[in-house]
Amino acid sequence: MHMTETARRMWKKLTWTWSPGSEKEAGDAVVKNMLLHWFPNKVSISSMSWSYSMWLGTVSFVLFLILCGTGLVLMFLYVPSVERAYSSVKDIEFVVSFGWLLRSMHRISAHLMVASVFLHMVRVFLTGAYKNGTAAGANRPLNWIVGLTLLVLTLLLSFTGYLLPWDQLAYWAITVGTNIARSAPVVGEWMRFVLLGGTTIDQGTLIRFYVLHVFFLPVIVLFLFAYHMWRVRKDGGLAVVDKEDLNRTAVPADPVKSKTYSLLGITNGTSVHVQTKVVEDESTTVTSSPHLLRRILLVSLLTFAVVVLLSVVFPAPLEAPANPSVTPNPAKAPWYFLWLQEIVTVTTVTIGSFTINGALIGGILLPGALLALAVWWPYRDKSGPGSVGVWLSPERKRQNMVFIVICVVILLFTVVGTFLRGPYWNLYWPWESWPDMPVKF
Ligand code: HEM
């Protein structure tokens, strides 16, 4: 008995520098700590609705977790060396029990994550959820920028993973992708050199992409995601709560005789009642546990099921080993960069012997300008509080139209690049066969 008490004290000494002396102090500790404060005590019913957020942010994070889980197992089997990478992936595919499923799940989740993060951004824009509501200290524009960073990181995660199988698909997609970086004025060559760890895609590139892929990028995404969620709480919850708040009028409540914390809680008196319109309202909120947790579990299971199903239907491809002297025709970037490759083609103009290279416009200037526009947008959006947390608010009609047009153009170009481009980047319908191409050495 004495021993356990001593052990308990020792443990407390080792693990605590301070422990709460009262319930209020304990509550304050939860509120002030970033990790403990991840889940609110109560959550508004409207923010859990399927039709508002479509749960795309949660789906994105669940996909990220599936990627971490499958990726950790793949790390035991994959060898990041130019000589052995391809054969280790081949072993995963054909020798390891269920290796093909593991690899397929990892790949499908990566594709789906790019798509779901993009769709999550579209949802946030079309609901005006980057705008502040009534919460003190809200900074949703900042969370929008955090989100944009997460989107770029998601693309980089996928891009760095693309090279690892070291097959023809991997090698040439990264060749096309990194050649675009080269076209940046002044720093282009240097940027490509840093990215590749040399002038060609070789062992230096493979190890660089590998370390970024399995360590740096996932860790940054994890920390940034935690911050993203903390901000959602500090911004007053999802923006739809602000819409609800706006529609409600404050009901003056009679002061209730209850304990008060004044005079260190020794006296009884009238506690201070703030006439709040928001969150703690009994009729519009439920406790996070179990309601929110149950919903998160359901979304996680559904996402997992879809990933498994798609992994079985669409197994991960593995082409011939990478061969720098055999250029496939066409050589395509990863699908989420094909809209840029398409714009590079469209903006490359040849007049006589003079060629204007579209890589600068399509690869650097345009994506840079779009990103800058996205960062700036919440600060130029002057629509009123009625358009916060509302799908397609009439007040934001013009803005939504511009955004939708940009998204549709990106999607159209992606579809053209993915399905309609054949040898020499000529257009072919999906049912048309491509001409036999001489293999160039
Ligand atoms: C790895 C990528 C991302 C993850 C895992 C993620 C996760 C989440 C989650 C779980 C939520 C809660 C609501 C929901 O499920 O929709 C949320 C909200 C939010 N996200 Fe993201 N997000 C990511 C990327 C982005 C991007 C690309 C943007 C925008 C550019 C963004 C902006 C926001 C904003 C502004 C909110 C608050 C929405 C509201 O109040 O209705 N996030 N995010």
When pLDDT is averaged across residues 220-241 and rounded to a whole number, the result is 94
At residue 441, the pLDDT reads 45
At residue 244, the pLDDT reads 83
Contacts 24+ apart (CB under 8 A), 82-86: 82/166, 82/202, 82/203, 82/206, 85/164, 85/165, 85/166, 85/206, 86/165, 86/166, 86/167, 86/321, 86/322
| pLDDT winner (highest mean) among 182-191, 272-281, 381-390 | 381-390
At residue 268, the pLDDT reads 56
At residue 71, the pLDDT reads 98
Nearest to 166 by CA among 109, 92, 108, 97: 92
Structure tokens that stand for 378 in this block: 């919440």
The identity of residue 48, as a single letter, is M
Name the percent of the chain lying above pLDDT 70. 87
Nearest to 287 by CA among 48, 27, 35, 57: 48
Report how far Cα 291 is from the mean position of its chain's Cα atoms: 25
Q: Is the CB of 125 under 6 A from ligand 1?
A: no
Give the pLDDT confidence of 14-61 residue by residue, as tens digits. 877 777 677 677 667 666 666 556 677 788 999 999 999 999 999 999
Q: Is the CB of 344 under 6 A from ligand 1?
A: no
Q: Tell me the average pLDDT of the chain.
A: 87
Give the pLDDT confidence of 83-130 residue by residue, as tens digits. 999 999 999 999 999 999 999 999 999 999 999 999 999 999 999 999
At residue 397, the pLDDT reads 96
Beta bridge partners of 42: 287
CA 57 to ligand 1 center in whole angstroms: 5
At residue 275, the pLDDT reads 43
At residue 439, the pLDDT reads 54
Residues 40-247+284-425, CATH architecture: Up-down Bundle (1.20)
Q: Please say if the pLDDT value at position 440 is more than 60.
A: no
Rounded to whole angstroms, the Cα distance separating 80 from 215 reads: 14
At residue 417, the pLDDT reads 94
Q: Is the CB of 288 under 6 A from ligand 1?
A: no
Q: Between residues 371 and 289, which one has the greater pLDDT?
A: 371
Could you tell me if 104 and 94 are in contact, meaning their C-beta atoms sit under 8 angstroms apart?
no
Q: Please say if the pLDDT value at position 437 is more than 70.
A: no
CA 238 to ligand 1 center in whole angstroms: 10
Residue 38: CB atoms within 10 Å: 13
Mutate to test the pocket of ligand 1, among 67, 114, 117, 228 (most ligand atoms within 8 A of CB): 228
When pLDDT is averaged across residues 229-235 and rounded to a whole number, the result is 91
Give the pLDDT confidence of 318-340 residue by residue, as tens digits. 999 999 999 888 989 899 999 99
At 58 the three-state DSSP class reads helix
Q: Is the CB of 141 under 6 A from ligand 1?
A: no
When pLDDT is averaged across residues 365-391 and rounded to a whole number, the result is 95
Structure tokens that stand for 40 in this block: 């609110």
Q: Between residues 186 and 5, which one has the greater pLDDT?
A: 5
Rounded to whole angstroms, the Cα distance separating 45 from 284 reads: 6
Q: Is the CB of 170 under 6 A from ligand 1?
A: no
When pLDDT is averaged across residues 348-370 and rounded to a whole number, the result is 81
Residue 344: CB atoms within 10 Å: 26
Mutate to test the pocket of ligand 1, among 49, 124, 155 (most ligand atoms within 8 A of CB): 124
At residue 27, the pLDDT reads 61
